[in-house]
Chains A and B, each alone.
Chain A
Amino acid sequence: MNHGQQSGEAKHEDDAALTEFLASLMDYTPTVYFPFIPDDLVEHYLAKSGFQCPDVRLIRLVAVATQKFVADVASDALQHCKARPAPVVKDKKQQKDKRLILTMEDLSKALREYGVNVKHPEYFADSPSTGMDPATRDE
């Protein structure tokens, strides 16, 4: 009995955490730019996949979850970019002024951990025989 009561109380607390969080989500008015993803956009994509709910707080929850996902991926990519040995040519002038750019390589490495395989071709060619030796080309 005690255990049941305790678990019941614990459930109330857990629910309280969730409800508190959902309530705090709604405090973000458009004046404060959080979450970064607009609600209408999230609602559009959710409706596209069939999820229907009249509650705005759930939309915000999904928006925050997506933001967290993208931020995680971006931070992983940033760490990969930073971890790459910087080509320091001139030590005197450059003081680690490396401008970090989000490239496809870093992104594909970061996304691989999340189960998304992104492969970027190195170059695009007009035809299969472009760039080959003119002697070996069939003309």
Chain B
Amino acid sequence: MNNGGGDGGSQQRELPGKRKLFRGSDFAFSIARMAVAQICESVEVNSYQESQTREAVRFSSFHESALEALTDVAVQYIQSIGKTAHLYANIAGRVDGNSLDIVQALEDLGSGLGFAGFSDADHCLADSGVLKDIIHYTGEAEEMPFVYSLPRFPFSKEKKPAPSFSEVGPEPPDEHIPIWLPAFPKTKLCDRSEETNAATIEGEIPRKENGSSLPSMQHSFDGGRLDIHTSPKDVRESPKAVVEGNPFLTAPLRIVEKNVSPVVRPLEISNEVVRTNHVADKHMSNNHHIPVLEASASSDKINNMNWLAESEDGEKEDVARKQRTLVRFKIGTTKRSTCLAKSRSFQEEGWFQENEDKREKKSEIKEKRERIDSQLSTQM
């Protein structure tokens, strides 16, 4: 069945198992282990010594692997009861389970060992031997002392159904929305006003769960139909907590130039140079890549150049494309038909540079052209 828990309960095995393999670290499993340990502790066997004294012998400790194995068996027992009872309910054409379904399931599970009255063909289910055994056990087990019993765990159900429109407000916002649908989550505008309320409500929830959690769980189990009167705060609380951190509900980004930290271009080339009808080469930088397309007046040429530029850029430097590319069209008098990619910093140096720098740039350009060509050759 299992290879003995030990330390392997918390490790993940590679078998594509029929059952969950994280059972060692499962929260429900650890609670079940505590419950099973408690049951084992309370089991006692009476033995009669030579001195005719009745001695009750109990377990004093367990091996951890044995406890995990027994817990696993108990969990599977519960699950098989549920499965069989569900099967019997479905056979009878019902969805919800019945007490008789459970009795039938118990009979199925107990048929291995057998119980009183099983051989009768038409015995009443309510009078089943299984039930009698259970009643007998209940009567016996009650007499044992409950000294070492642990406090009840608040087993909180994670999923809480979202409140429907009828629960949240008087009317849904639009006419076409029926009231039984879940309500819209609140936007940030509403959250701010209710943040203070949320803080106080959160403090109340653990106290509520520590108390009688059963009725609230039962109501939430009903699929939200009866959610109105039991803990509406709890139900409203969960969507709020989700909404505050919901990235899908933030305001959309406007298409505006962001103030990005200025990128230092290694190549000091400005558009001004191109404007003055110089040969515009393919100037590409390695680090930052904001290609600026210099296009001539005609539109189809622009399109061609765009496409060429993008294809060439895409071939060589794909990583840089992920940055924002700023495409600026400039109507100039360039005669070059090939694409012209320019590197340009985000800083608005302006299309109009001072004329004094022009002459300096001209000499620089020639040097840099050679550098760029060598870079391109190395890249390719």
| Interface residue ranges, A against B (CB under 8 Å) | 10-11, 14-15, 17-18, 21-22, 24-25, 30, 32-34, 36-58, 61-62, 64-71, 73-75, 78-79, 81-82, 99-104, 106-107, 111, 113-121, 124
Q: Do A41 and B32 touch across chains, with their CB atoms under 8 A apart?
A: yes
How far does the alpha carbon of A28 sit from the alpha carbon of B20 in the complex, in Å? 32
Contact residues of B between 26 and 81, Cβ < 8 Å to A: 28, 31-32, 35-36, 38-40, 42-45, 47, 57-63, 65-67, 69-70, 73-75, 77-81
Q: Main SS of the interface on chain A?
A: helix
Q: A38-B155, A71-B137 are in contact. Are A48 and B79 (CB under 8 A)?
A: yes
Q: Main SS of the interface on chain B?
A: helix
Q: Which residues of B contact A118 (CB under 8 A)?
A: 1-2, 69, 73
How far does the alpha carbon of A99 sit from the alpha carbon of B59 in the complex, in Å? 7
* Nearest-neighbor residue (CB-CB) of A50 within chain B: B86
Tell which of A21, A58, A114 touches B113, judged by Cβ atoms closer than 8 Å.
A114
B372 to chain A, nearest CB (A): 59
A74 to chain B, nearest CB (A): 4
Contact residues of B between 140 and 170, Cβ < 8 Å to A: 141-142, 146, 149, 152-153, 155, 157
B82 at the interface (CB under 8 A from A): yes
B53 to chain A, nearest CB (A): 12
Q: Do A68 and B137 touch across chains, with their CB atoms under 8 A apart?
A: yes
Tell which of B57, B69, B78, B89 touches A45, judged by Cβ atoms closer than 8 Å.
B78
Q: Do A82 and B47 touch across chains, with their CB atoms under 8 A apart?
A: yes
A113 to chain B, nearest CB (A): 7
* Nearest-neighbor residue (CB-CB) of A99 within chain B: B60
A76 to chain B, nearest CB (A): 9
Q: Do A56 and B124 touch across chains, with their CB atoms under 8 A apart?
A: no
Q: Do B57 and A78 touch across chains, with their CB atoms under 8 A apart?
A: yes
Q: How many A-B residue pairs have CB under 8 A?
A: 223
A81 to chain B, nearest CB (A): 8
Tell which of B1, B83, B157 touches A50, judged by Cβ atoms closer than 8 Å.
B83
B298 to chain A, nearest CB (A): 69
Tell which of B43, B99, B142, B155 touches A61, judged by Cβ atoms closer than 8 Å.
B99
* Nearest-neighbor residue (CB-CB) of A29 within chain B: B212
How far does the alpha carbon of A54 sit from the alpha carbon of B89 in the complex, in Å? 14
Interface size on B, residues (CB 8 A): 78
Tell which of A18, A49, A107 touches B99, judged by Cβ atoms closer than 8 Å.
A18
Q: A102-B63, A102-B67, A107-B66 are in contact. Are A51 and B82 (CB under 8 A)?
A: yes
Q: Do A17 and B96 touch across chains, with their CB atoms under 8 A apart?
A: no
Between-chain CB contacts (< 8 Å), 23 pairs: A18-B126, A33-B149, A37-B32, A38-B31, A40-B155, A41-B35, A43-B221, A45-B32, A45-B78, A45-B82, A47-B82, A49-B83, A58-B97, A61-B134, A65-B106, A68-B141, A70-B70, A70-B77, A71-B42, A71-B141, A100-B58, A113-B113, A114-B112
B222 at the interface (CB under 8 A from A): yes
B213 at the interface (CB under 8 A from A): yes
Q: Do A116 and B126 touch across chains, with their CB atoms under 8 A apart?
A: no
Q: Do B66 and A64 touch across chains, with their CB atoms under 8 A apart?
A: no
Tell which of B47, B97, B213, B222 touches A51, judged by Cβ atoms closer than 8 Å.
B97
How far does the alpha carbon of A55 sit from the alpha carbon of B166 in the complex, in Å? 26
How far does the alpha carbon of A115 sit from the alpha carbon of B109 in the complex, in Å? 10
Q: Do B83 and A38 touch across chains, with their CB atoms under 8 A apart?
A: no
Q: Do A36 and B3 touch across chains, with their CB atoms under 8 A apart?
A: no
A120 to chain B, nearest CB (A): 4
Tell which of B61, B63, B214 touches A99, judged by Cβ atoms closer than 8 Å.
B61
Q: Do B43 and A46 touch across chains, with their CB atoms under 8 A apart?
A: no
* Nearest-neighbor residue (CB-CB) of B71 within chain A: A70
How far does the alpha carbon of A113 sit from the alpha carbon of B73 in the complex, in Å? 13
A41 to chain B, nearest CB (A): 5
Q: Which residues of A contact B320 (CB under 8 A)?
A: none
Q: Do A56 and B79 touch across chains, with their CB atoms under 8 A apart?
A: no
B131 at the interface (CB under 8 A from A): yes
How far does the alpha carbon of A69 sit from the alpha carbon of B66 in the complex, in Å? 16
